[in-house]
Amino acid sequence: MLERLNTESLPRLPADVEKPIYDRSRLTPGIVHLGMGAFHRAHQAVMTDLAMQASGDLSWGILGVSLRSAATRDALTPQDGLYTLALRDDGPDGKTREQLRVVGSVLRVMVAEEDPNAVLERIAYPQTRIVSLTVTEKGYSHEPATGHLRWDDPDILHDLENPHRPRSTIGMLVYGLALRRERGLPPVTLLSCDNLRGNGDTLRSLVLAFALRVDVGLTHWIDAHCTFPNSMVDRIVPGTGDHDRQRIAERLGVQDAWPVVGEPYMNWVIEDKFAAGRPAWENHGGATFVRNAAPYERLKLRMVNGPHSTFAYLGALLGHQTISESVRTPALRQFVNAMMQHEIGPTLKGIPDSGLEEYRRRFLARVGNPALPHPIAQVAMDGSQKIPQRLLDTIQDRLRTGDDIQRLTLAVAAWLHYLRGEDETGGRYGIQDPMAARLAKLLARADVAARASAPSQAAHRRAMVLAAFKPVFGDLGRASEFVSALAAHLETLRLHGVMRAVEAAT
């Protein structure tokens, strides 16, 4: 039985494993992070670790908060917050390479559901200067199509009545900031690192909307003093499997209960608007600070996230298990490549064609990385929260200029067809989506409408009902070109399958 990774075992790790060389006993907490999943630990936590090592400023330790699950807390607490990041790719010789680094920036992980008031106290801790978030799109309790706070969300309703035991991300932030204001403490930066359009602006509007229901004075204080930088993070981070744990333990010579696996590529762009300082994240090339992150965010949402989701939904319908399997399917690769070239790229004004070409090629190489099999289920989950900014925004831009939307609309149709829960081989899979129940009713209603229509109108009627679902599609359901294209693609997928649909749209 191997000993556990912890502070005592750190000096005995193999020489080829990178590790923090600063004195972790001198670390003090400066960041509270909500959402201690693999994505955060593969980017912000490791870049904070490297920044502190480079600068010697050890005041940016991370107090992590898992919103509901105790798994990360239970794994990292016996390890003194330490964990391993394994970066994997294929070398020039075709053999898999893996670089290991033990990350030391996490001081402690707590579980909000167990003691929500303790989270508020940490947000109101005098040394806290940044509260950051990777809670996924669904963690914002907002309507994807409009960005507005969902006042009917059960957690939001609960939090309005229970200020000392909030459940939602927005409630925790607002009540934590209220404590800071009551105690005369300085403001903080609220840094969203999630895949949302204008993630900082979106977070700001949601926080202010909730605060207005709590205390008008608090709303003014947040608006005047706290900052909400927009940011963009790009790194592929699949979930960790038992085979990863075993392989990494063999390399380390100690047991790491929850290592993180990711790709070497990393791109982090942040607006440099911090209310109370920040780590020197730029020192190791991991972050670029800009005045306006919107162009970088749009590029990533459209040229990475949109195609990523497209590979996921088309591949899932074919019975694929990983994204790399879909990328290695010539018809799917050709289709997504053409979608990026001819429908997505032209919407990204101001970026030279050569730059888009390089971005497209690099994306296809990244998602096809055989050393990093990314489960399709992970990319496909929560589509109702992802589709608006990943695909629908691009479709709307194309419609405004009268341009073709056939490939983009097939990607949307693939998501809707995926929601039926069965692939073309007869395999069944579960749908993970915060709107799963509503979407199931929507699909059933669309089928009823189609059956009640004349045969020649059934496909169009089905598409009309689906596109009229405002929480996802907003006003796009009124666009006749979109509805007609959606109807045709849904019918092809239903009657003939993915390969015929892809062939017809390429």
Q: Dump pLDDT digits (tens) for 440-467.
A: 999 999 999 999 999 999 999 999 999 9
Does position 326 have pLDDT exceeding 90, yes or no?
yes
Q: How far apart are CA 43 and CA 103, in angstroms?
A: 11
Residue 495: partners with Cβ closer than 8 Å, 6 or more residues away = none
Give dist(CA 303, CA 450) in Å, integer.
34
pLDDT digits (tens, 9 = 90+) for 385-438: 999 999 999 999 999 999 999 999 999 999 999 999 999 999 999 999 999 999
What is the maximum span of the chain, computed from C-alpha positions, in angstroms? 74
How many Å apart are CA 344 and CA 19, to the nearest integer?
41
Half-sphere exposure of 47 (CA within 13 A, CB side): 24
Q: Which run of H or of E encompasses 146?
A: none
Neighbours of 294 (CB within 10 A): 14
Q: Region 216-227: what's the mean pLDDT?
A: 97
DSSP letter for each residue of 45-83: HHHHHHHHHHH-----EEEEEESS--HHHHHHGGGTT-E
The mean pLDDT of the chain is 96
- Tell me: the pLDDT tens digits for 174-209? 999 999 999 999 999 999 999 999 999 999 999 999
HSE-CB of 95 using CA atoms within 13 angstroms: 3
Which range is least confidently modeled, 16-30, 99-113, 353-367?
A: 353-367
pLDDT tens-digit readout, 265-286: 999 999 999 999 999 999 876 7
250 band by pLDDT with thresholds 50, 70 and 90: very high
User: What pLDDT score does 466 carry?
Assistant: 98
Q: At what angle do helices 330-339 and 406-418 cross, to 10 degrees?
A: 130
pTM of structure: 0.93
